[in-house]
């Protein structure tokens, strides 16, 4: 499948593969893009979204998103999240090949 480039193409690809994207936090105080500076976290109401859907698996992109999901959402949702490597350009610790391999878990 061709890699989508535009936002409409990306949305169509996600819909075609039954993938939903949702932020763990509705809001927070953060300095720049530094996850370590997150304060005043307000979680999204993910449990309500999952209850109205056919969601069976949840994946978090990055350690911070996973930690926040497990802390604020997992108990209410009833589904533990799978932690995937961050896709942030700041994540230089993992090669593109390893990143692609890690994300193959979504297809199972």
**pLDDT tens, position by position, 44-91:** 999 998 999 888 899 998 899 999 999 999 999 999 999 988 877 666
Q: Give the class (CATH, top level) of 7-107.
A: alpha beta
Q: Looking at the predicted structure, is the pLDDT value of residue 105 above 90?
A: no
- Please report, for the chain, the start and end positions of each structural domain, with discontinuous segments joined by +: 7-107
* DSSP secondary structure of 8-32: HHHHHHHHHTT-----SEEEEE-ST
36 backbone dihedrals φ, ψ, rounded to 5°: -70, -15
Q: 106: pLDDT confidence band, cut at 50, 70 and 90?
A: confident
Helix (H) or strand (E) holding 43: strand 39-43
Whether pTM > 0.75 for this model: the answer is yes
Which pLDDT does position 108 carry in this prediction?
64
Which pLDDT does position 16 carry in this prediction?
87
- Nearest Cα residue to 18 out of 88, 99, 106: 106
Q: Looking at the predicted structure, is the pLDDT value of residue 35 above 90?
A: no
Whole-number Å distance between alpha carbons of 9 and 97 = 23
User: Percentage of residues in the chain with pLDDT exceeding 70?
Assistant: 93
Q: 28: pLDDT confidence band, cut at 50, 70 and 90?
A: very high
DSSP 90: T
Q: Looking at the predicted structure, is the pLDDT value of residue 6 above 70?
A: yes
User: Looking at per-residue confidence, does 24 or 17 come out higher?
Assistant: 24
Kindly give, in sequence order, each residue whose CB lies less than 8 Å from that of residue 94, ignoring residues fewer than 6 positions away: 85, 102
């Amino acid at each position: 499948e061709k890699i989508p480039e535009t936002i409409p193409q990306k949305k169509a690809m996600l819909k075609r593969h039954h993938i939903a994207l949702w932020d763990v936090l509705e809001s927070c105080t953060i300095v720049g893009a530094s996850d370590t500076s997150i304060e005043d976290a307000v979680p999204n109401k993910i449990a309500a979204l999952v209850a109205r859907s056919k969601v069976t698996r949840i994946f978090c992109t990055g350690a911070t998103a996973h930690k926040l999901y497990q802390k604020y959402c997992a108990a209410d949702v009833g589904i533990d999240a799978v932690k995937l490597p961050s896709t942030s350009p700041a994540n230089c610790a993992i090669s593109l090949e390893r990143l692609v391999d890690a994300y193959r878990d979504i297809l199972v």
